[in-house]
Amino acid sequence: MKRLISKICLSGAALATAFSLSTAASAETLTIAHSTWVGYGPLYIAQEEGFFEEEGLDVDLVVMEDVKTRMPALAAGRIDVAVTTIDTVLGFYTEDHPLTYLFALDDSRGGDGIVANADIKTIEDLKGKNVAYTEGSVSQFFLSVLLKEAGMSLSDVNSMNMSAGDAGAAFVAKRVDAAVTWEPWLTRGKDTEHGHLLIDSSKAPGLITDIAVTTEETLKSRRPEMEALYRAWAKAIAWQKANEEAADVIMAKGVGGWLEDPAVFAETRAGIAFYDADMNKTFMDPANENGIVGTIANAMTLGKESGLITLDADPKSLLAADIVK
């Protein structure tokens, strides 16, 4: 699927891209960096269908697979906007380079999950079991939230650190009792004789959500462009909903990589939900404790417990006010 704390591995090409960009993006161009993930496809609809241009934007879409390249590039001003998961942002927030959430792009609605041995019927049954997942990733965040809700923590399971793909393969090979992973390993895992799908992200909408983020400094100097970017995104989602087949072709070509086949793109897209204007208004509302504010609060608590996050701030203070209107 995606992201380290966004589901991805270090890419030498992405690293080269990050440092080949100019020290600061030009005033005319808005540079947006993303990894190869289905949820970022509508950015290419906005580009292809002229929605960026309609909003007076000149947008450069740049692939940076590793979040450890993407987020430092954002802090250094080499790019203007990054897209990643909500929890990931918190791990890169510093007093010198404060970050701010702009708007939501997509969330996982079944694309992430846990496959487990047939005798593991509940999250509580994971206690003492060998559970494979990527440490420091959104998979760890997902598992941590589920354990917390069950009155448990990561210390209650035997954590096996491996990539999501390796975790899924290890489960299929009966080398672990459960794995936190994504497609195609969720299907492969539940189709084994010994396994089943314990839970997937459709049971926790809004938890694994991709977000557009910028620095407070960039927002201050380029707020009209950030507002225009959101309007273009909303137009792209409306167009995608009305033209699904044509949209998959555009998005597959734009995102490329393992998603370059429109059929594969469409299959993967079935596990997520794009955030349209109405969904963003609800999710990004500071008064909605079940929206982004709640997800940030959860991520802060669990991140501090695991030592991944040290930020101590009011979640509402991290939102860019009035970008979503």
Digitized pLDDT (tens) for each residue of the chain, 325 residues in all: 444 333 333 344 444 444 444 433 444 899 999 999 999 999 999 999 999 999 999 999 999 988 889 999 999 999 999 999 998 899 899 888 899 999 999 998 998 999 999 999 999 999 999 999 988 788 998 999 999 999 999 999 999 999 888 999 999 999 999 999 988 899 999 999 999 999 999 998 888 899 999 999 999 999 999 999 999 999 999 999 999 999 999 999 999 998 999 999 999 999 899 999 999 999 999 999 999 999 999 888 887 877 777 788 899 999 998 899 8
* Alpha helix positions (H), 127-215: 138-149, 164-172, 185-190
Tokens of 291: 């929206």
Tokens of 238: 């409306």
pTM: 0.82
How big is the CA angle at 171 (ends 7 and 153), to the nearest 5 degrees? 65
96-118 burial: b if 16+ Cβ within 10 Å, else e: ebbbbbbbbbbbbbbbbbbbbbe
User: In this structure, which amino acid lies at residue 216?
Assistant: E
**End-to-end distance of the chain based on CA atoms, in angstroms?**
30
